[in-house]
């Protein structure tokens, strides 16, 4: 039982490049989330998926897209990376929307 | 005003003391409250969840919720150096489609 897994762990992109962050959970959770965390700050919600087949914008969705591929997997795509997207990205899942969330190990992204 | 505010740190306590972490929230429709611990360079991990007014105890940790005052706190008894971390308060509101809002965190240092 791995919980929530994320790939890659580290990534360096040049401005304008694209990439997809992958997230998978094996806890049979319905809801999944993508957050970013900037130094000294809390977590800000980018997108979430309340259940398979649905996605919704969070607090900071601009510059990102998501896909809920199936119940297990939720990916985050940066179409044209910008230095302002340099951050640590966390994926999380929960049994239902109003329940506790479990986090993956994070992806440290640097955009130069 | 931020939706979720935590007492500014850093907070330093001696080993064996009680650490008190506070969090206020602005949305009276909030229904679910969580405390997460985040070690430096790691992902957040759930410590406590609380859904109704009053106290909830789990080992050395006690969460206290007062919805009338829009206030949730975390007490750590017999603080240990291993408790040194950043503590994040998270709130979910029924009026905000179940999205989690996190505070910026309070960094706790427990000195031996």
Across the interface, of A42, A45, A50, the residue whose CB is closest to B88 is A42
CB contact under 8 A, B44 and A98: no
pLDDT in the model for residue A26: 96
Question: How far apart are the C-alpha atoms of A107 and A75, rounded to whole Å?
Answer: 12
Q: How far apart are the first and last CA of chain B?
A: 36
Across the interface, of B32, B97, B105, the residue whose CB is closest to A56 is B97
Higher model confidence: residue A42 or residue B96?
Answer: A42
Name residues of chain A where pLDDT drops below 50. none
Query: Mean of the pLDDT values across residues B89-105?
Result: 84
pLDDT in tens, B14-52: 999 999 999 999 988 888 999 999 999 999 999 999 999
pLDDT in the model for residue B98: 66
pLDDT in tens, B47-76: 999 999 999 999 999 999 999 999 999 999
pLDDT in the model for residue A42: 84
Q: Which residues contact A48 (CB under 8 A, 6 or more apart)?
A: A31, A32, A33, A34, A55, A56, A58, B99
Judged by a CB distance cut-off of 8 A, whether residue B105 touches chain A is yes
pLDDT in the model for residue B100: 86
pLDDT in tens, B77-93: 999 999 999 999 999 98
Question: How far apart are the C-alpha atoms of A111 and B82, rounded to whole Å?
Answer: 33
Flag whether pLDDT at B1 surpasses 80: no
* Chain B CB contacts of A45 below 8 Å: 99-101
Report which DSSP code applies to A97.
Answer: T
Residue of chain B whose alpha carbon sits nearest to that of A46: B99
pLDDT in the model for residue A2: 80
Chains A, B: CB pairs < 8 Å:
55
pLDDT in the model for residue B93: 82
Query: For residue A43, how far is the Cα from the chain centroid?
Result: 11
């Amino acid at each position: 039982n791995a919980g929530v897994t994320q790939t890659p762990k580290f990534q360096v992109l040049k401005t304008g490049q694209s990439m997809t962050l992958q997230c998978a959970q094996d806890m049979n959770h319905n809801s999944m989330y993508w957050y970013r965390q900037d130094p000294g700050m809390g977590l800000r919600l980018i997108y979430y998926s309340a259940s398979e087949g649905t996605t919704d914008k969070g607090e900071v969705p601009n510059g990102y897209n998501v896909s809920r591929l199936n119940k297990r997997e939720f990916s985050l795509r940066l179409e044209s990376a910008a230095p302002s997207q340099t951050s640590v990205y966390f994926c999380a899942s929960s049994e239902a929307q109003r329940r506790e969330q479990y986090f993956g190990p994070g992806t440290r992204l640097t955009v130069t | 005003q931020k939706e979720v505010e935590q007492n500014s740190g850093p907070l330093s306590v001696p080993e064996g003391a009680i650490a008190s972490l506070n969090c206020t929230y602005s949305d009276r429709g909030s229904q679910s409250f969580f405390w997460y611990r985040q070690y430096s360079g790691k992902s957040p991990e759930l410590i406590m969840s609380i859904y109704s007014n009053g106290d909830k105890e789990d080992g050395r940790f006690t969460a206290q919720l007062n919805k009338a005052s829009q206030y949730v706190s975390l007490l750590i008894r017999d603080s240990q150096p291993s408790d040194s971390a950043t503590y994040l308060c998270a709130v979910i509101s029924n009026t905000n489609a179940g999205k989690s809002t996190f505070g910026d965190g309070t960094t706790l240092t427990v000195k031996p």
